[in-house]
């Protein structure tokens, strides 16, 4: 289960955050997604709206997975947002709870550079 959850996260980051395919959230994120980041609306639709706008404003936006740790239904992901010049713009730790191989709940910690 833990490896499967990590694979779900890996695919989600590649398709949603790096290829900017907003519609892929329908494959990986529950409709009733619980969001603990106060800057993003609740639910899958809120996530899609927030990042559609972000990707429009920042078409170069990418998140590179540095490591993942999984235990049970929880996955922690350490990421770097890297600019086109290769510089690290910020570091992020995202923590997810998954249900039936879909993202159900999210927490994050951001470290600006």
| Residues 77-100: tens digit of each pLDDT | 999 998 878 788 899 999 999 999
Confidence tier at 2 by pLDDT (50, 70, 90): low
Distance CA(22)–CA(36), nearest Å, equals: 20
Quick one: pLDDT at residue 76?
Answer: 98
> Which domain, by its residues, includes 9?
2-112
pTM score: 0.91
Number of domains in the chain: 1
Inter-residue contact 33 to 106 (CB < 8 Å) = yes
Give the CATH number of the domain where residue 96 resides.
Answer: 3.10.450.50
């Amino acid at each position: 289960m833990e490896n499967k959850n990590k694979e779900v996260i890996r695919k989600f980051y590649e398709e949603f955050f790096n290829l900017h395919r907003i519609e892929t959230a329908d494959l990986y994120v529950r409709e009733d997604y619980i969001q603990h980041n106060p800057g993003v609306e609740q639910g899958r639709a809120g996530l899609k709206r927030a990042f559609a706008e972000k990707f429009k404003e920042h078409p170069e936006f990418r998140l590179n997975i540095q490591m993942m740790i999984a235990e049970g239904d929880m996955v922690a992901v350490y990421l770097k947002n890297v600019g086109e010049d290769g510089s690290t713009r910020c570091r992020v730790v995202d923590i997810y709870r998954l249900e039936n191989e879909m993202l159900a709940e999210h927490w994050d910690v951001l470290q600006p550079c």
